[in-house]
A = this chain, B = another copy of it.
C-alpha cells in the first residue's frame, strides 16, 4: 500500500513538473527551485511525465499535403473517412497514427448519443489506446472483437480493451476466448455460450470499429506473438494470404480465405461495413499489400495512415 501511494506521489510530482515545463513554460532549473529538488531530479520528473504519457501533445493544424492525400484516397477507394499523418521514416511503427487514432476515438466517445465502439487488436491500436486521456462516458459500450487469451494461456498483451478500460469509464465487454481455437467445432461450441453470444451480438451492432491491419510473414504479428508457427505461415502465404484483421486472413483482393486457419479464428466477425464505420490503422512498407487488400476487399471502410503509405495506395 505504501508502495502504491509512493508511486502515486511520484506521478503527482511528475505531473506537476510536466505541467510547469510544458504548460507554464518554465525551465527545469526553475522547476527544481520551485519544488525544492535538484535540476537533475526535475529533469527526471519531466521525462517521467512524458514516459508515463501524462503529457499529451497534439497538433492542431491540417497539413495541406496530408489533407490532399486523404481526400484523394477517399475518392479513389470510396472510403468513408481517411486521415493521413506526416511520415517519419526514422521513428517507430506507431508514431503519429497512434495519436491520430486516439483523437478519433476520443471524438467518438465524446458524442452525446450512446454508441457501441468495437476494437480489434494489434500494436498500433494498443499504442493509440495508450494515448487516450481519462474520459467518462457511461452511455457508451466498448466491445472487443478478439479474444483475450494468448496461445500460452495468459491474457494476451495486445488485447487492447483492458488498456482502454484503464482510461475510459464505460462498460467494457472483453471476449473471453482464445484468439485461435483448435477446430471449427470448438469455435461453434464456444460461440454458443450465452456470454460469448451476447458479446458477439453486440459487436455486430458496433457504430464504429477500430482495427489494426496485420501483414503476414514470419516477422508479422501472428508469428511474432506465437499464434502461428513458421511453417503454418509459409503455407498460408502459399495459399495467397497477404494480411489479417483480428486474425481473419485475407488474400490480395481482400477476400477472406477459406482455409483451416480462418476456421479456427474465434474473433467476432468484422462488423458490417454497411452499418459500421470500420477504421483500419496501419502504415509502413511492410503492410502496403495488406492495407491495399483490406481496402479493395472492403474489409474496412475508413483508414488512418501516413503520407508514405497514402502515396503508395494512390500509385497502385
B57 touches A22 (CB 8 A): yes
A57 touches B55 (CB 8 A): yes
Is there a chain B Cβ closer than 8 Å to A286's Cβ? no
Give the contacting residue for A63; candidates B12, B26, B88, B107; CB below 8 A.
B12
Given A25-B91, A91-B24, A95-B25, is A56 in contact with B63 using a C-beta cutoff of 8 Å?
A: no
Assembly stoichiometry (copies): 2
Contacts of A90 in B (CB 8 A): 24, 26, 30
Is there a chain B Cβ closer than 8 Å to A59's Cβ? yes
Is there a chain B Cβ closer than 8 Å to A18's Cβ? yes
Given A15-B63, A36-B106, is A88 in contact with B20 using a C-beta cutoff of 8 Å?
A: yes
Whole-angstrom CA separation of A134 from B14 in the bound complex: 25
Is there a chain B Cβ closer than 8 Å to A44's Cβ? no
Give the shortest distance, in Å, between A51 (CB) and chain B (any CB).
12
Question: For the side of the interface on A, what is the size category?
Answer: 35 or more
Contacts of A95 in B (CB 8 A): 23-25
Given A8-B64, A63-B16, is A88 in contact with B58 using a C-beta cutoff of 8 Å?
A: no
**Residues of chain A whose beta carbon lies under 8 Å from any beta carbon of chain B:** 8-9, 11-12, 14-16, 18-20, 22-26, 30, 34-36, 49, 52-65, 67-68, 71, 85-86, 88, 90-91, 95-96, 99, 103, 106-107, 110, 133-134
Besides the known contacts A12-B64, A23-B99, 12 further A-B residue pairs in the complex with CB atoms under 8 A apart: A12-B65, A18-B59, A19-B64, A22-B57, A23-B58, A23-B59, A23-B67, A23-B95, A24-B71, A54-B59, A55-B57, A55-B59
